[in-house]
Amino acid sequence: MEQTSRVAVVTGAGSGIGAAIAREYAAAGAQVVVADLDGGRADAVAAEIQTAGGRSVAVEMDVTRREGFLATFAAARSAFGGVDVLVNNAGTGQNGGIRGLDDQTWERTVAINLSSVYYGCQLAAQEMVPRRAGSIINIASRAWLGWYGQFAYAATKGAVVSATRSLAIELAKYGVRVNCIAPGLIDTPLMQSLDQPVKDKLMEAQPTGTLGTPEDVAWAASFLASPAARAVTGQTLYVCGGKSIYARPAARGR
Ligand SMILES: NC(=O)c1ccc[n+]([C@@H]2O[C@H](COP(=O)([O-])OP(=O)(O)OC[C@H]3O[C@@H](n4cnc5c(N)ncnc54)[C@H](O)[C@@H]3O)[C@@H](O)[C@H]2O)c1
């Protein structure tokens, strides 16, 4: 995977998928900035990486604010000299149909899931284009294809997929690759916070019949950040147990 001596910033890395990506990158030799709204959780993940012999710093930041990214990139430059890989992972899960959606939830979902990607990608482009190298990975969701009770969530994740494709075109000539990962149901605190009917329906439609782990997503993020993915840009890699193909439970033959 060859992350050695590369510098990665992972947002929302204090929990779930982001923490798994941070650990995976660090285990491969990368220097990792663990960024999260919850400074305590970010500190804990960075400390765990250091204890395991890796190099990591924690930053308490808010992805809904440009200042949060400015502080995070400044920390990466100061600790490790720059940013080679950005994983826009921090996100929130909204569920419930449009009839129960309120303005505050809508705006918060857009801010955390989408405005964050705008700020992060813009700063990453400024950092990576002059060096003619870099990899940006945006964590979308299989839900962008559409799903029960996920109006706001699916809308923001669809926008992330679309923005990724446009940015990949814009930055390709500068050697900067931009890709998405679209997880299915992954066992994290966010997934556990979903209403039971939503979880049940999501699980029913996962053809493998198994719940994904944060490490499943981290391995995909590892590939996309690596030289092995040098010809891959503008793509959405599904880590969803086949849910994106819309197989029904009966198709599993169970
Ligand atoms: N778990 C799943 O089933 C699943 C499926 C598809 C996509 N995803 C996506 O994966 C990503 C990670 O999800 P997860 O399941 O690991 O969630 P999680 O709730 O376990 O972790 C999310 C982390 O993001 C941080 N965070 C939240 N708001 C933030 C903000 N404003 N600024 C900085 N950090 C903030 C939280 O503190 C938390 O540590 C999200 O983008 C989510 O939409 C998850």
Domain ranges of the chain: 7-239
Ligand 1 pocket, mutate which of 190, 203, 208, 217 (most atoms under 8 A from CB)? 190
pLDDT at 151 > cutoff 60: yes
Residue % of the chain over a pLDDT of 90: 82
- For residue 1, the one-letter residue type is M
Least confident of 25-39, 146-160, 210-224: 146-160
What average pLDDT does this structure show over 194-217?
87
Q: Which residues contact 203 (CB under 8 A, 6 or more apart)?
A: 185, 211
pLDDT of residue 4: 52
Around ligand 1, the residues with Cβ closer than 6 Å are 11-12, 14-18, 36-38, 41, 61-64, 89-93, 112, 139, 141, 183, 185-186, 188-191
Q: Crossing angle of helices 66-80/116-128, nearest 10°? A: 40
pLDDT of residue 61: 98
Give whole-number Cα distances, 223 to 8, 111, 193, 229, in Å.
Answer: 13, 28, 29, 6
What residues are paired with 138 via a beta bridge? 88, 180
**Nearest of 12, 8, 236 to residue 113 by alpha carbon:** 12
The yes or no reply on domain 7-239 and CATH 3.40.50.720 is yes
Least confident of 105-109, 133-137, 166-170, 204-208: 204-208
pLDDT of residue 234: 98
pLDDT at 50 > cutoff 80: yes
Is 153 a residue of the active site? yes
Q: Which atom of ligand 1 is nearest to the CA of 157?
A: 43
**Nearest of 107, 114, 120 to residue 66 by alpha carbon:** 120
User: Which strands form 7-11's sheet, in the order they lie side by side?
Assistant: 55-60, 31-36, 7-11, 85-88, 134-139, 176-183, 236-239
Ligand 1: centre distance to CA 17 (Å): 7
pLDDT of residue 203: 85
Residues in the chain: 254
pLDDT of residue 251: 47
22-27: Cβ within 8 A, 24+ apart: 22/46, 22/49, 22/56, 23/48, 23/49, 23/52, 23/218, 24/215, 24/218, 24/219, 24/221, 24/222, 25/85, 25/221, 25/222, 25/225, 26/52, 26/54, 26/55, 26/56, 27/52, 27/54
pLDDT tens per residue, range 68-126: 999 999 999 999 999 999 999 999 987 778 999 999 999 999 999 999 999 999 999 99
**78 vs 249: which has the higher pLDDT:** 78
DSSP letter at 250 equals G
pLDDT of residue 28: 97
**245 vs 89: which has the higher pLDDT:** 89
The active-site residue, picked from 25, 118, 148, 153, is 153
pLDDT tens per residue, range 3-35: 556 999 999 999 999 999 999 999 999 999 999
Reported as type and span, the H/E element at residue 63 is: none
pLDDT at 39 > cutoff 60: yes
